Amino acid sequence: GAGVSQSPSNKVTEKGKDVELRCDPISGHTALYWYRQSLGQGLEFLIYFQGNSAPDKSGLPSDRFSAERTGGSVSTLTIQRTQQEDSAVYLCASSSKQGSYNSPLHFGNGTRLTVT
């Protein structure tokens, strides 16, 4: 079956421009996560959607970052006025977590964002 799909796979943008990153989770998965990995760093939590609950935005590094999840499915991560420090691989993951903590995360292949 289809896995988690992210687009674009690569994005090069100029400093100050806005970018949108898209994630299509596995159908039926209620939980959706955004992480990023900067060069030489571990996975940094950004935002977490679980069903109809209010998203956990506690990992967003600044108010230039926002995310939404429409219809409980597709999610878009938007970065406004990009800065060079935003350059990273942005990973989306989904899981069927719904009261069960046995569910692994299924990751997409990521979007490599380069801000020049």
Partner 1 sequence: ILNVEQSPQSLHVQEGDSTNFTCSFPSSNFYALHWYRWETAKSPEALFVMTLNGDEKKKGRISATLNTKEGYSYLYIKGSQPEDSATYLCASDTGRRALTFGSGTRLQVQP
The residues that touch partner 1, with contacts defined as CB under 8 A, are 4, 33, 35, 41-43, 45, 48, 56, 58-59, 91, 93, 101-110
Nearer to partner 1, 53 or 116 (CB): 53
First to last CA, the chain: 37
CB of 69 to partner 1, least distance (A): 14
Q: Cβ–Cβ contacts within 10 Å for residue 60, how many?
A: 18
Q: Whats the size of the chain, residue-wise?
A: 116
CB of 53 to partner 1, least distance (A): 11
Tell whether the torsion through CA atoms of 56, 106, 45 and 34 is positive or negative.
Answer: negative
Nearer to partner 1, 45 or 81 (CB): 45
CB of 65 to partner 1, least distance (A): 15
Q: Cβ–Cβ contacts within 10 Å for residue 38, how many?
A: 13
Nearer to partner 1, 59 or 80 (CB): 59
CB of 3 to partner 1, least distance (A): 8
- d(Cα 62, Cα 110) in Å, to the nearest integer? 21
